[in-house]
Amino acid sequence: MNENKSNDSFKSEEGIHTDFSDDMTYGDYLQLDTLLASQNRLSDHHDEMLFIVIHQVSELWLKLIIHETQAAIAAIQRNDLQASFKMLARVSKIQSQIIQAWDVLSTLTPAEYMEFRDKLANASGFQSYQYRLVEFVLGYKTPHILKIYKDNPELYAILEKAYYGPGLYDVAIQALAREGFSIDKNVLERDFSKTYEKDATVEQAWLDVYNDVERYWNLYQLAEKLVDIEDRFQQWRFRHMKTVERIIGYKTGTGGSSGVGYLKKVLDHYFFPELWDIRTKL
């Protein structure tokens, strides 16, 4: 009876296309043959599929974060803050997805992971160039990261461009200056390949924005979008650290890092430090 209802429902949709001999299909558009053929286990263990899929999905989300953040940087540079708000809000929603991905990966037990961990050799998420690119576009620049990709000219060029270019916070500070705030010249003309360090003039500008929200509404919205992104990035880092601790404890990472020890060190790093400091001073 249910099958008949299903058939009747399908027949009632007379406009549904069923002949794709000359047309592109859903699978063609998304290149699903390639995408779904990319989960190649190196062991016979059932749970290696989970490990691969989670990391591949996360890389796809990272690609979209980079796409949206770079577009937001360009929008802020041309003083189109409204356009940047939509992009940055989308980044925050994407971050919620990759945070929740850790909950799925944490269903992998230590005993299960040990069944195929040796197959990874020295491969590690530490080597994810897209994750490093996210850090670069947010303004966290680490020179030793570039060295990892020196033998891959294509990837090196992508990373190098972001490394020497302004990050999201740099263009936000430039927006403050355009609005008339007195920002230290050394901050505005700084070397973007260096990780940003706190500045008193930037802090005062954000304080003024938050103390007169109505006057500086667009800058206030920009600031809160940045805080949303940083907040979720910290949540992602924390869930990453706890998932690794849950699965391998304090073992050295497959890529040679200290594992949980390294992940704990980066928990206290801030991309947009003044936006957090002013909360105590408001």
Q: Which segments are annotated as binding site for substrate?
A: 51-55, 113, 117, 254
Quick check: 105 and 50 in contact, CB under 8 A?
Answer: yes
How far, in Å, CA of 10 to CA of 26, rounded?
A: 18
Q: Indicate the annotated binding residues for heme.
A: 240
Annotated binding site: 51-55, 113, 117, 240, 254
From the list 157, 129, 122, 125, the residue with the least C-alpha distance to 145 is 129
Q: Hey, what are 107's tokens?
A: 């269903």
201 CB contacts (<8 Å, ≥6 apart)?
181, 182, 183, 184, 187
**C-alpha to C-alpha distance for 256 and 56, rounded to whole angstroms:** 21
Task: Find tokens 């294509």 and name the residue.
Answer: 154
CA 261, 263, 268, 274 torsion: positive or negative? positive
- Nearest Cα neighbor of 223 from 201, 207, 236 is 207
